[in-house]
Structure 1
Amino acid sequence: MPPWVACVPRSSCLRTSRTIERLSLPFSPPRTVQSSTTYLRTRRASTHVAPTAINVRPNIPPQSQELYDALDGLSKHAAEYVNISRLQLAQRGVTTQDAVVRIAILSLNSQKSAQMLARLLLADPLGTEGQWEKTLEESEEDGRAMLLRHGNEGDANTASPLYKILSVPSRILGAHHLEILVSTLNVNTSHAAPVSTNESSQDALLVPKIQAPTARGLPIPYPVHKTLVIGQGLGSAVDYGKFTADTVGDNYGMVKVAIHLPPPSTDADPGDSATYSPVNIDTGVKALTKFRESIANSEFFERGWFRSGVPGLSKWLVRDLQSSGPVKPAIRTLIGSIADDVEANITKLDTQQLNRLAAVPTYQQTSESVLRHLETWAEKSHTELRDQLDEAFTAPNWYKLVWWKLLWRVDDVTMITEEILQKKWLVDAEKNSIYLAGRMNQAGFPEVLQVVQEVVVPEPLATLEGNAPIDPRSRGEQTPTDISTEVKEIIPWPSQMAASRTILLKDTIPPLQAFAQRLVLQTLSTTSLSSALSALLYVAMPTFSVFEAGAVAALGFVYSLRRMQKLWESTREMWQAELREEGRKTLKHTEETVRLIVRRTERPTMENEGAVGRKRAREAVLRVREALGRV
């Protein structure tokens, strides 16, 4: 016994004992633990797995096998809806009955405040100040996280580029198989952009990212079971509120926020179930220092300790850490949180998909809309055909091809008629059909409709005498092996007007040009022959006067011109009528084709994308809940 304890009066000792009992400090071991060396060797070899290690299927207790398999099924069927790091932590938690529990203490500002709070939570007031406490108090801000493990201060730890490992001889860590990660959480919403827009604030709190200052690459996730956030003043509380604006609920009690505020005038114990808790680290440090100086300062320690708000955080720290079965309550809470998160993500995607499907018009609405646009297009196209051809056939260019100008304009027939077809025949209708085709393509209607024609093959014909059937080949007919189902592919309907124009250019203009040239030649020939006959009559027959011979020549000339006028004008009118009729037929055929496409196109099925995968994920979540309930 230390000599200074013997000098303390008995009343002080009793008061100190009652004070310690009232405080219910978590540093009192609830059960006998192994020796430090044996315990550390066993725990580090069997339960602790580094976050970057490759997972090897461990020896799972029989009572936890079903739950482990259910979690494994969740990773297979719901990988896109779950945080894999948290799921792996939950799987490691069911491999042993007394698994290691990870708790993170994250500072909203300087990591030094998180280190000081960790020191208050783990320090033993009845013991002397340890070297690990000095390390936490004097550690420089280098950006590296710190991992606090149970062990003797002289134990050697494997160096890690991600965090600094510190062995702490704390009974809390040893009794509860606890590890504490001390780091920072950047919630400066005005300057710092989140690493990933898809990461929720809950994932950022329960899966903090750690990285050494000199390391390259992405930060490494370090999932934890619980997180204690420490902030400085009301400003950090506001920043934290903005950061967690997307979180609904209290994070299943796994996250607690402590805000450094001036100590209250009276003792305040918000309890370990409150989400927020005021704390004053300076008051707690002073109370701890005074009590270590002399046990006579127990009353000062009691008042300062409760005013600092540390007792409530200490109770929350060790809550749900005692093993009450194969799985610790903290791990059960983690698994339940994962299951709820998966269901929430699935429900969110279902809602988005249903909203998208509700915004898509039905097949009937789409068909009616296409047919309305088709009717508008057909009306405008027929009007265009009439007006544009009327304008073309009253234009000066068409007047150049009247019968009496044909003698010197015969070579311009091809140029003028081609110009009419290229510039006046359904030009705007063809352009507007492209817009209509775009609407139909967007609605899922094809541009080409395949019409299947089945050819029925007759039975072999028999002779009248009842002899053997006649071979169809002998009659030049097709045999059954030669006849099959024929597929007739219609030209894409937006190209039908261009195809019709091309046919008119090839089939009507060359014959028209040839007929004009032939007509001019016949007219000139008839006129020449009549003139030659008139001269011959005048020379050979003296009874014919000049006027009589000239009458013969004039008769031939008038006949040839009249014939040319009659034939050419009738041909021109026929060509005009053919252009109008072909345009009308083309528009009608195009309209009927579009209606046939709309009528024969199969009704599209509105499938809920990913519905099968989400159903499997829900089933996996249900298996996890059922297995967790039976453990």
Structure 2
Amino acid sequence: MPLRIASVRQASRTPRKRQPDISFCPSCSIWRFNQPRVAALRAPPQARALSPFRNASTLASATAINPPLEVAAHHQELHHTLDGLKQNAANYVNLSRLQLALRGLETKDAVVRVAILSIDDQKAARKLARLLLVDPLAAEGAWEQRLEDTRPDDGRGILLRHGDEANVHPSNPLLQTISIPSRVLHKNNLEVLICTLNVNVAGPGRPTSSNRPKDAILIPSLQTPTSSSGRVTLVTYPIHKAIVIGQGIRSSVAYGRYTADTVEDISPEMVKVSINLPAPQEEAAQDASDAFVIVDVNTAAKALSKFRESTANSVAYEQGWFRSGMPALTEWLVDGVEQSESKVKPAIKNLIASILDDAEANITREDSQRLEELVASTVPESTRQPILESIKVWAEHGHTELRDQLEGAFAGKNWRRIAWWKLFWRVDDVGMIASEVLERRWLVDAEKNCIYLAGHIEQAGLFKDVERYNEDLLRKRPENVDQQTFGTYPPLPHEIVALEKRKAKLVDDGEVKFPEPKPWPAQIPITRALLLSETVPPLQALAQKLVLQTLSTTSLMSALSALLYVSMSTSLFEAGAVAALGLVFSLKRMQKRWENARSFWKGEIREEGRKALKDTEDKIRLIVQTNARPKQDIEGAEERRIARDAVQKAREALENA
């Protein structure tokens, strides 16, 4: 019984097994296990070394998105200014590279990520990575055999980290992670990414975009299948430095075409181009600072094999190794990764400088594009001046037509038909004759010529982008008023007035009928419609009123004279004098009021005609002069100014870091 109790007690102290938690890092796209460490800590060191599971902090990349760490005091200003770029210059910086730089500042000894990009396939990149990371004094490891595997790869990238070869990494559709006991990785805190670079794209002259050569090299894209149909999704994986390896002259020519228009933007401190060519008989002089280096992977591999066979072959190994050009690459690989107490790693500093340079280049490029758009939208002076002269000639002809046509109309036979003494039998023709004057004699040719003039303006491209003419007037524009266009939105002031009256004024037949919107100036037809609806009916009503008043007054005075003759025994002459007085008074009043009304109406339509001509001329001239000049992009310019200031502050902080 005590034994059972002891066994139960011992079992109660044994930690329960549970399924490991799995999490996904969106920055480095690495699946990682969060395994309880209770049993691992109680196990002996030998068991912990052979454990297939590692802690998340050692398995996950140090450059991944983790909870922000406490930034060192001497890096806080730089970190703050870089973090501000997310808000002030988000459209001009690559956020994945910016996030990588921020993570580097948040870590005391940040991991430097180096990519080895193969132009053709991963075989050359794998061989080169093996030679760069191998320990010649150690026996060949299993990771070397995996890199030397000649079987076709599945398209996934390979991530090499320092660690025990026995470490088991979870399956990832993007990356195949391999832990290797490399002193180069451990001493310099490096991790190496192996993938391919596609250079089979258009050459110089292609538009600037996210797939430009510099971005494709410094932000490699990892492919992951999304369906059984073969579609893939690209996931960016930013790095600090990159080695581009090509096979032979053909690869070098393809790379040269690929980067022909952006070769000056690629810094040799961040990108090293190596071409695999047969090694010369003697060692070639190559420096680590050169942008290009020639290597012979096969010669280096043979020299390594000879040295591993026997240390007596050290001289042959040294000669073959230096003839292969590998020393320049190994020196460049570890250049800029040393850690200082208060300084930023040169590799991270180069990354930040590259991000800021790209941001400034993007801002400048957008300024240039906007300037080109403004220049393209500007109408040349040689096109604008003839149009302004045509407007001046049109206005002169319009005023001349208004004067001559109205004088001819008012001196014509129809207008004389409604003289004051003819109103008794012509009173019903007043509205018809007045409407005929407005429709046939009031700026008819000017309206037609205005349509032709608007056609020339449209042909010159001055109506293509007409924006707001008067902001103050637009703010006062009624919300329920239909839009009458002069070329384009918004309506002109004269059209707004007409539309307001259209909504407010009713006549006997219903709403006032205004002309439909046309893509040419509408002041003249709208003013004519207003005159027809507002002045002709009152003139017709006044004529009828005057005729009725005259007949009524004459009848009353005649009745009064007859009454005086019958009742007061006055003479016929005296009674006739009273009737004549009434007749003369009523006719004189009719003549005076009617002639004044006709004179006022003639003056009103003349004045409204001059106003319509002047309004049309001013608005057309305003459109020509306004749209001939480039329109300023105020909001875009302010956004670029803020972004440029943020980049400048980050650059100053980088210089002090």
TM score, norm. by length of structure 1: 0.64
Contact kept? 2:71, 2:106, Cα under 8 Å: yes
Q: 2:570: which partner in 1?
A: none
Q: 1:586: which partner in 2?
A: 609
SS at structure 2 position matched to 1:106:
strand
Q: Which residue of the other structure, out of 613, 624, 646, is the alignment partner of 1:620? A: 646
For residues 278 and 331 of structure 1, what CA distance do their matches in structure 2 show? 26
Q: Which residue of the other structure, out of 366, 371, 394, is the alignment partner of 1:377? A: 394
Q: Is the counterpart of residue 442 in structure 1 residue 449 in structure 2?
A: no
For residues 42 and 168 of structure 1, what CA distance do their matches in structure 2 show? 14
Q: 1:117: which partner in 2?
A: 128
SS at structure 2 position matched to 1:127:
coil
Q: 1:430: which partner in 2?
A: 447
Q: Is the counterpart of residue 272 in structure 1 residue 288 in structure 2?
A: yes
Contact kept? 1:417, 1:509, Cα under 8 Å: no
Q: 2:181: which partner in 1?
A: 169
Pairwise mapping of residues 307-318 of structure 1 onto structure 2 (< 5 A)?
A: 307-318=323-334
Higher RCO, 1 vs 2 (CA within 8 Å, ≥6 residues apart): 1
Q: Which residue of the other structure, out of 312, 319, 322, is the alignment partner of 1:306? A: 322
SS at structure 1 position matched to 2:148:
helix
Q: What RMSD over aligned residues (CA atoms) do the two structures have, in Å?
A: 5.4
For residues 91 and 199 of structure 1, what CA distance do their matches in structure 2 show? 23
How many corresponding residue pairs? 504
Q: By how many angstroms is 1:112 displaced?
A: 1.3
Change (3 A) 1:99 1:367: same
Q: Is the counterpart of residue 101 in structure 1 residue 124 in structure 2?
A: no
Q: 1:58: which partner in 2?
A: 69
For residues 625 and 440 of structure 1, what CA distance do their matches in structure 2 show? 42
Q: 2:364: which partner in 1?
A: 347
For residues 196 and 345 of structure 1, what CA distance do their matches in structure 2 show? 9
Deviates more, 1:302-311 or 1:369-378: 369-378
Change (3 A) 1:44 1:321: farther
Q: C-alpha offsets along residues 514-561 of structure 1, whole Å, 9 cap, x if unaligned?
A: 99xxx9xxxxxxxxxxxxxxxxxxxxxxxxxxxxxxxxxxxxxxxxxx
Q: Which residue of the other structure, out of 191, 205, 217, is the alignment partner of 1:179? A: 191
SS at structure 1 position matched to 2:264:
coil
Q: 1:238: which partner in 2?
A: 253
Pairwise mapping of residues 147-546 of structure 1 onto structure 2 (< 5 A)?
A: 147-190=159-202, 197-214=209-226, 218-244=233-259, 245-251=261-267, 253-326=269-342, 327-353=344-370, 372-381=389-398, 426-427=443-444, 429-430=446-447, 432=450, 435=454, 439=463, 442=466, 444-446=468-470, 490-492=494-496, 494-502=521-529, 505=532
Q: C-alpha offsets along residues 266-309 of structure 1, whole Å, 9 cap, x if unaligned?
A: 21131111001112222222222232233333333233222222
Change (3 A) 1:376 1:291: farther
Q: C-alpha offsets along residues 590-621 of structure 1, whole Å, 9 cap, x if unaligned?
A: 3157549979x999995644344334333333
Instruction: Report the residue type matching 1:497 in the other structure.
Output: I
Instruction: Report the residue type matching 1:79 in the other structure.
Output: A
Change (3 A) 1:505 1:230: same
Q: C-alpha offsets along residues 79-123 of structure 1, whole Å, 9 cap, x if unaligned?
A: 222111111111111122211110000111111111111111112
Change (3 A) 1:195 1:187: farther
Change (3 A) 1:578 1:415: closer
Seq. identity, %: 43
For residues 626 and 57 of structure 1, what CA distance do their matches in structure 2 show? 23
Q: C-alpha offsets along residues 423-482 of structure 1, whole Å, 9 cap, x if unaligned?
A: 7754563352693797598275359969x9xxxxxxxxxxxxxxxxxxxxxxxxxxxxxx
Contact kept? 2:276, 2:297, Cα under 8 Å: yes
Instruction: Report the residue type matching 2:177 in the other structure.
Output: I
For residues 182 and 464 of structure 2, what CA distance do their matches in structure 1 show? 73
Change (3 A) 1:370 1:442: farther
Instruction: Report the residue type matching 1:238 in the other structure.
Output: V
Structure 1 unaligned regions, length at least 5: 1-33, 402-409, 453-488, 520-570
Contact kept? 1:258, 1:278, Cα under 8 Å: yes
For residues 105 and 491 of structure 1, what CA distance do their matches in structure 2 show? 68
SS at structure 2 position matched to 1:65:
helix
Could you say which structure has the larger radius of gyration? 1
SS at structure 2 position matched to 1:81:
coil
Deviates more, 1:331-340 or 1:212-221: 212-221
For residues 332 and 347 of structure 1, what CA distance do their matches in structure 2 show? 22
Change (3 A) 1:323 1:380: same
Q: By how many angstroms is 1:150 displaced?
A: 0.9
For residues 122 and 593 of structure 1, what CA distance do their matches in structure 2 show? 80
SS at structure 2 position matched to 1:76:
helix
Contact kept? 1:382, 1:584, Cα under 8 Å: no
Structure 2 unaligned regions, length at least 5: 1-44, 418-426, 477-492, 498-520, 548-593
Contact kept? 1:446, 1:597, Cα under 8 Å: no
For residues 578 and 318 of structure 1, what CA distance do their matches in structure 2 show? 96
